[in-house]
Amino acid sequence: MQRYLFITIDTEEDDWGEYNARPSVENIYRIPRLQEVFDRHAAIPTYLINYPVATDPGSVKLLRGIHERGGCEIGSHLHPWNTPPLEEERTPRNLYMHNLPVELIRKKMETLHGVIRKNFGVEPVSFRAGRWGFDRNVAGVIRSMGYRVDTSMTPFFEWDDYEGGPVFGLKSNGMFYFNETEYRPPRKGDSRRIGGTGDYLLQVPPTMGFLQPYFRFADLLRNSFRKKVFSRFRVLGMMEKLGIMNFRWLSPENSFVEDMIALSRIVLRKGVPFLNMFFHSTSLVPGRSPFIKTEADVEEMLRKIDAYLQFANREDIQSVGLSGAGELMR
């Protein structure tokens, strides 16, 4: 069975958590160093671009050049606080696009889609919501606009600890078709028939899971011990140290490369034929994200990406752009 690797990058403004309407995008000018790593391993990243990046002439020139030589794919990534029209009240809940009125979601998506089409000469078909702010309303909007692939649903991880954050209930790393009506992962016994083009979106979750093979049991344990009654005993920390339950993201921002490889092997052994490594362009500049503090941290992140891609090549895991995910389901 052929295995595949998607590399999805939230390609966005500087200054994590500032929520500026007119932010800087200096991190984009460090992408050539990152792209060198991808080129060395014939890896195809998907740069999921937001409005500040799509409207900055220098960023457009840089990323368009990579795309035109076949080095990457271009998709969409929306931050509501800096994507016109800025009609919503600035509140913690409204930082998640799925909490906005559906017509405002549509207006913002049309703005973003339009500038990407104009400035990059492409019709983006892949999407990730900023801060994972995704629900059936967002699904309905992007599906109606011709998007085919979404990568906004996080498996084994919910965002209800944050005001207004989404809850997905996703307990698998596998891809699945869905739309705003059938807004759920497939269940055992489903016999879904995929209709004409545009009837469904394909969900390609970012790879998240445990370093133990019993994902659902580990997830049940973790959710049980997240409750306040256990928090003062630091049970989760003890379980992490004892190796009973180690939750990891397939991300060079906050995981060791050894853990990324271990997680990948477990997911592949479970019969999932693809992996989705993900991170933020912001992490290319020290101090712009919570993950990367120094230049040495940037170098270490690039080293981890390089080492992980070496692993993927050794294991014959083929790197492909996100837009091609549907072909892999046939």
**Which of 29-38, 55-64, 209-218, 241-250 has the weakest average pLDDT?**
241-250
Q: Report the C-alpha gap between 31 and 15 in whole angstroms.
A: 16
Residue 192: predicted pLDDT: 52
Residue 223: predicted pLDDT: 78
Confidence class for position 203, pLDDT limits 50, 70, 90: very high
Confidence class for position 234, pLDDT limits 50, 70, 90: low
Do 18 and 24 form a contact (C-beta atoms < 8 A)?
no
Quote the pTM value.
Answer: 0.94
For the segment 178-198, what is each residue's pLDDT rounded down to a tens digit?
Answer: 999 988 777 665 555 444 446
For the segment 101-141, what is each residue's pLDDT rounded down to a tens digit?
Answer: 999 999 999 999 999 999 999 999 999 999 999 999 999 99
Q: Report the C-alpha gap between 163 and 160 in whole angstroms.
A: 7
State phi, psi for 249 to the nearest 5 degrees. Answer: -105, 145
Residue 211: predicted pLDDT: 95
- Round to the nearest angstrom and report the end-to-end CA distance of the chain: 13
pLDDT value at 239 more than 70:
no
Which stretches does DSSP call E strand in the chain?
A: 3-11, 45-49, 73-78, 126-129, 149-150, 176-178, 201-203, 208-210, 247-249, 274-280, 317-319
Burial class of residue 83, CB neighbours in 10 A (0-12, 13-18, 19+): buried
Residue 21: predicted pLDDT: 84
Pairing of strands 45-49, 73-78: parallel
Q: What percent of the chain has pLDDT over 90?
A: 80
Mean pLDDT in residue range 283-304: 97
Mean pLDDT in residue range 256-283: 98
pLDDT value at 242 more than 70:
no
Residue 66: predicted pLDDT: 98
Residue 265: predicted pLDDT: 98
Q: What is the DSSP letter of 13?
A: -
Q: For residue 246, what are the contacts with CB-CB under 8 A and spacing of at least 6?
A: 210, 211, 212, 240, 259
> What is the pLDDT of the chain when averaged over all its residues?
92
